[in-house]
Structure 1
Amino acid sequence: MNQPGRGVDDESPATPPGPRRRTGGRSARVREAVLKATIEQVTEHGIEGLTIGDVAARAGVAETTIYRRWGTRTALIAEAVAELAAVGNPVPDTGSVRTDLRMLAEQVSHLISRPGIARLVGTAIALSSDPEVDAARRRFWNDRFERSSQIVTRAVDRGELPAAVDPREVLETLSAPLYFRLLVGEKPIDDAFVARCIDQTLALHGKPA
């Protein structure tokens, strides 16, 4: 007999909740594994030597999974190149423009000094006639410039740089010699070279005495 104030279903065991759906769990892991495998394949064999089969085997997924998500080899390479801009490169915020620029320069030098990255960057430039690769290259640089421009805007707020300074020009002045030395000069990027790049950047764009 039911007790007053209780419904018929109140005496039945509570229905256990169903399994919670994970949002993006496996899909995110597959994407990460495939993009990581793509970068590894490109750095080892170049863009021209990359195949969907090799990426699938290295990532531990089916080739159909890659084709279903990215469609073409070029689209896969394009997203993998763009992903390099966002991974493992937090924007420095030390409270000083000089130390922020030093940390940024070290990030750039570490990235482009990784085995195969110089080849990857050079090949991406060589294949700029491919619309997808060219779009990925531009997304890579635009994303890096956009995120790193915070260094300059914060320096302006602190009075370390003039208000009229162009953040992109500051970042180009700092990073261009680093890429040139690696891709053209083929010389190591040491502490003295990084310090000289920072000094020249601040001398060109800093507040006049």
Structure 2
Amino acid sequence: MTSQHPAPGDARPGGRTARNTAAVLQATLDELGERDYGAITVDSVAARSGVHKATVYRRWGGVDGLVRAALEHSTERHWEPELTGSLYTDLLRLVETVTSGFTEAPEREVSAAAVAAAFESEEVAEALRRFMADRHRRAAVIVTEAIARGEAPRGTDAEEVVRSAIAPVYYRLLISREPVTADDLRRAASVTATAAADGAFVGTPGPPAP
């Protein structure tokens, strides 16, 4: 079910409004990377972006709307997974990219802060779900290419393979707060590639045989 009216910040006009929108959304991401979610205010975003706070309130309604719009804006940025010609190495490059996004990349603070903010705001959580769904969809080409090469059977759920590969990485990064080693990444890619080749992601899994 969709609304007939755009949510605050959904419009995409050109000219000065487009520049202001880009400035506000980037300022929101910058604030998210530097502060706890609860410390972000419309005033701080407005000051950072140079856009009057009345305009920010009118278009985005508040901090939840700002973060939601900023995350949705991030889905518009170009990203495609690296394709190497092998399911295992493609998955390995993917989990390396995910790890870098939380540990080394310039946006690493924003990545972790967005996950934390999703626990405080259902609006942000929904935006994060859409962002992740977009990334899963884009990464699925890794698996569709593997199916075409015969590395995984037809009917394999490509996005579920992606989730399986990155799940151990997210667990270490965000839950147990353990270091993620090169061996961890190789294991995640290898286990998932082997399971995919064995047909583990075809159809609906049932209970294990007794």
Same-fold call, TM cutoff 0.5:
yes
C-alpha separation in 1, matches of 2:102 and 2:76:
14
The CA distance in 1 between the partners of 2:128 and 2:92, in whole Å, is 24
CA distance in 2, matches of 1:80, 1:162: 38
1:198 pairs with one of 174, 189, 200: 189
2:128 to 133, 137, 146: 137
Tell which deviates more after alignment, 69-78 or 171-180: 69-78
1:123 to 117, 127, 132: 117
Contact 1:42 1:49 in 2 (8 A): no
Q: Which amino acid aligns with 1:140?
A: F
Residue 168 (structure 1) shift: 2.0
Partner of 1:24: 14
Give deviations 1:106-151, integer Å, cap 9, x for gaps.
2211222213532431231x225x3x22321221121111111121
> Which residue of 2 is the match for residue 167 of structure 1?
158
* Cα gap change, 1:139 to 1:27, in 2 (>3 Å): same
Which residue matches 1:54? 44
Give 5+ residue unaligned stretches, structure 1. 1-22
Q: Is the 8 A contact 2:92 2:186 kept in 1?
A: yes
SS at structure 1 position matched to 2:109: coil
Instruction: Give, in whole Å, the separation in 1 of the partners of 2:18 and 2:93.
Output: 29
Aligned 8 A contact 1:53 1:63 in 2: yes
Identity percentage of aligned residues: 38
Structure 1 residue 27, shift from structure 2 partner: 3.4
Note if contact 1:46-1:120 (Cα within 8 Å) is conserved in structure 2.
no
Residue in 2 that maps onto 1:76: 66
1:39 aligns with 2:29: yes
| Alpha-carbon RMSD | 2.1
Residue 170 of structure 1, CA deviation:
0.4
Q: Indicate if the aligned counterparts of 1:91 and 1:104 stay in contact, CA closer than 8 A.
A: yes
What TM-score, normalized by structure 1, do the two folds share? 0.77
1:207 deviates by 4.1
**How far, CA to CA, are the matches of 1:101 and 1:85 in structure 2?**
21
In the alignment, is the contact (CA less than 8 A) between 1:78 and 1:136 conserved in 2? yes
1:177 maps to 2:168: yes
Between the aligned partners of 1:28 and 1:104, the Cα distance in structure 2 is 32
Between Structure 1 and Structure 2, whose CA radius of gyration is higher? 1
C-alpha separation in 1, matches of 2:184 and 2:68: 31
